[in-house]
């Protein structure tokens, strides 16, 4: 009889555990830096915050994400935050410089999840102060957008005070510019030799040499000017000869409207929770 009761109790516990897992709030897909599932922010407020976070990532390489949900129940916000951090992986891989600000509006709770690489810049006690002293006063006044903006601004300042690797796109941009200059120089040189007189070609060749020197010493604006000048000269040469060729309007774009995702950053439970 005792064994039967023990089995029944174990079965009940397993059933309750399964029910709790089933009832967990699902972690939403990470498509943007700002995910608002509670309609707390207006479209304009969310877009402005998204752009601000994107600019910060482009400048520093670090990623900050904001998640607003109605509730995390039956979990507390810390448990939910761990699942979000493990799923989203905000921050750069092996740098682990991601931060997630989570707000559970109906629960009147919030949390800051801090990646491994930022635990020195944003230790638990500092994260707690950001919540209590910067964000909560706004929330208590009903100003959720203002509280999130203020909290994000404070987190950005803390991250910028940490010695982190430069953003990955810095070297990629320099490489792209150099490649563009080389390819453009070859094409333009061939076209110029066929279209314009030798003195002019020599002058532009000299400018090209100066542009190469500018690239080596980091004068990117001068480099861009040189590239534009060369292509302008090529286009002018074609117009001068009455040709009918055009570029067709092609160009490079930023992939506008594409989704965004975490960079593979790791989290270990650092951060803090609070309420209002």
Q: Measured between alpha carbons, how far is residue 140 from residues 114, 130, 159 in Å?
A: 24, 15, 26
User: Tokens 């957008």 appear where?
Assistant: 145
76 neighbors 107 (Cβ within 8 angstroms): no
What's the pLDDT score for residue 123? 98
Q: Measured between alpha carbons, how far is residue 234 from residues 16, 204, 243, 244 in Å?
A: 74, 10, 12, 13
What's the pLDDT score for residue 18? 47
137 neighbors 149 (Cβ within 8 angstroms): no
What's the pLDDT score for residue 75? 97
Higher pLDDT, 84 or 224: 84
Please, which residues have CB within 8 angstroms of residue 127's CB and are 6 or more apart in sequence? 112, 114, 270, 271, 272
> What residue ranges define each of the domains in the chain, with the CATH number in brackets?
24-163+263-275 (3.10.310.50)
100 neighbors 113 (Cβ within 8 angstroms): yes
Torsion (CA) 110, 115, 120, 124 in degrees, nearest 10: 30
Q: Where are the alpha helices (DSSP H) in 97-243?
A: 124-129, 136-140, 144-160, 169-195, 198-217, 220-240
Please, which residues have CB within 8 angstroms of residue 14's CB and are 6 or more apart in sequence? none
Tokens at residue 65, please?
Answer: 């994400």
Query: If you average pLDDT over every residue of the chain, what do you get?
Result: 77
**Rounded-to-integer distance, Cα 139 and Cα 146, Å:** 8
Please give the radius of gyration of the chain, using alpha carbons only, rounded to the nearest integer. Answer: 27
Render pLDDT for 116-130 as a digit per residue (tens, 0 to 9). 999 999 999 999 999
Confidence band, pLDDT 50/70/90 cuts, at residue 10: low
What pTM, to 2 d.p., does this model score? 0.65
Render pLDDT for 55-82 as a digit per residue (tens, 0 to 9). 999 999 999 999 999 999 999 999 999 9
What's the pLDDT score for residue 222? 47
């Amino acid at each position: 009889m005792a064994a039967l009761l023990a089995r029944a109790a174990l079965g009940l516990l397993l059933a309750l555990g399964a029910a709790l897992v089933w009832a967990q709030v699902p972690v939403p897909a990470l498509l943007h830096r700002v995910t608002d599932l509670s309609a707390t922010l207006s479209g304009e407020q969310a877009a402005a915050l998204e752009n601000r976070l994107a600019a910060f990532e482009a400048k520093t390489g670090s990623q900050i994400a904001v998640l607003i949900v109605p509730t995390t129940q039956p979990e507390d916000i810390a448990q939910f935050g761990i699942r979000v951090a493990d799923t989203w992986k905000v921050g750069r891989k092996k740098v682990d410089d991601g931060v997630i600000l989570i707000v559970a509006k109906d629960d009147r709770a919030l949390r800051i999840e801090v990646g491994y690489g930022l635990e020195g810049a944003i230790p638990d006690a500092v994260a707690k102060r950001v919540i209590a002293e910067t964000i909560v006063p706004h929330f208590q006044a009903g100003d959720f957008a203002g509280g999130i903006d203020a909290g994000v601004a404070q987190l950005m300042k803390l991250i910028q005070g940490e010695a982190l690797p430069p953003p990955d796109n810095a070297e990629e941009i320099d490489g792209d510019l150099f490649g563009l200059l080389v390819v453009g120089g070859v094409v333009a040189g061939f076209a110029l030799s066929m279209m314009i007189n030798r003195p002019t070609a020599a002058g532009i060749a000299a400018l090209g040499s100066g542009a190469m020197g500018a690239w080596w010493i980091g004068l990117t604006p001068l480099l861009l000017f040189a590239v534009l000048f060369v292509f302008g000269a090529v286009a002018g040469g074609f117009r001068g000869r009455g040709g009918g060729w055009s570029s067709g309007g092609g160009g490079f774009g930023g992939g506008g409207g594409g989704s965004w995702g975490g960079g593979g950053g790791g989290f270990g439970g650092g951060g803090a929770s609070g309420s209002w």
